[in-house]
Structure 1
Amino acid sequence: MQDHRDTVALITGGAQGLGLAVARRLVAEGCRQVALVGRSEVKGAAGVDALRALGAEAVFIAADLGDVAGARGMVDQAVARFGRVTALVNAAAATDRGSILDTSPEAWDNLMAINARGPFFALQRFAQSAIAGGHPASAVNILSMVVHCGQSFLAPYSASKAALANVTKNAAQALRGHRIRVNGINCGWMDTPGEDETQRKYHGAEDGWLEAAEAAQPMGMLVKPDHVAGLVSYMLSPASGVMTGALVDFDQNVAGAYPE
């Protein structure tokens, strides 16, 4: 268990899946002020209710990470509500498909806007606020194993996450003198409501797809949000000390490995 009694958290994509799992974990470990960011008012309200039931002061902020004003504004709103924000988790992402042969400029721009540009300017405003407030802070960017390459049908998505991986390291270097730490997690194939929607929308998946997919994995499961939430909590907490600029692969498949 980490000590998050002094943590004030802002979590994008916080209304479901990994983002909500992180919020629950932080609250279970002492965090009492959490802002969830997303586009669905219904999902946001449900997430807030769940956190309030655990004793947290929780709010939902409706924002589109594809819009720079929205990315900056969500930080300003959270600071206005809580007085400061000490922890940022960029978990929101778009996962639209496209290959090098069929990706349109519009699809490319949309993925880059949501997955790289939005998190960049959210992190910028978060850092500016922490520096102005004179307090240390920590951010975690949720990346993907696709930063190492990615499937052919994930060309623009992979590129956007690779861009965010560089942002993570570059920001860590730039902000360390202000005691602001920035780390990232390269998540593997994860069992989330969003992934269920993606499998059904793009791959024609039907009921039972998850069980079949998990049976084919080396460890008999997909990555679980609660497992990743534990690492996010550690990275955000004082227990991770001076750790910054780290990109951790969180998967059962090893990047660069070949069949035996």
Structure 2
Amino acid sequence: MEIKWIYPRWGSAHLEWEVFLSKVKEHGYHGVEIDLPFGPDKKEIATMLTDFELDFVGQHWQTQEVDHEKHMEEYKRHLYNLAEEKPLLINSHTGRDFFSFEQNLELIKLAQQVEVETGVPIAHETHRSRFPFAAHVCKQYLHEITSLKLTSDLSHWCCVAETLLENQQEAVDLAIQHTYHIHARVGSTQSPQVMDPRVDTYQEELAQFKKWWKAMLENAESGGRPYITIAPEYGPLPYALQHPQTGELLGDQWEINQFIRKEIEDLWD
């Protein structure tokens, strides 16, 4: 099974598109994870991706509307906008943590309709503030909709639970079985992102996340999938910390993402 390495636009939006895509291509990534605007700019970006021979994962995060009916309409509009350009998949921040179980189910079923109509897989990120914000909550949805696809970023669950999820193994195992796309970031019991996973301080956290990532890869391979997409996702501010006096960032996003990629490549090889 192939790993398709995907680099996030998040943290690199200050770069011109050509500079960003050239850098990603030069370092051997298969594609990028990006949102897309409405209107003619979308086609320009799609054309550049074709020119650079890069795939992409569509990123939906924009829908924040608190009124459920308005939320549904806005959500659908964004999904169709991404699906129109035929990404490898759409990674979606779906629903809200304060919506009812039934309201979030409606959004998941809407996404499944879009997936069927367009042929573009839609995976829902295990992200704070969204429907799968915590392990024990996401487990209920996975039992309800057995075909649910996840973008697994368990750093959020660790932060919410204030554990490394050692007491929620059933929920973690179930999430692994449903993982379709991976956001590879190391979190802790107190933060969705450790300061720098390369230092000894975070040996325990790095080791745990590597076990989860390997299990996700093994599950995808045993399911006969030809590839799985992984985005190393050490984030910029405000995920990254900065020195309180100088403002200097305490971790380099690009370098740490290359470290995470190498760690996963080594454990998979």
Q: TM-score range by the shorter chain?
A: 0.3 to 0.5
User: 1 or 2, which has the higher helix percentage?
Assistant: 1
After TM superposition, the score normalised by the length of structure 2 is 0.37
Q: Tell me: higher relative CO, structure 1 or 2? Use CA pairs within 8 A at least 6 residues apart.
A: 1
After TM superposition, the score normalised by the length of structure 1 is 0.38
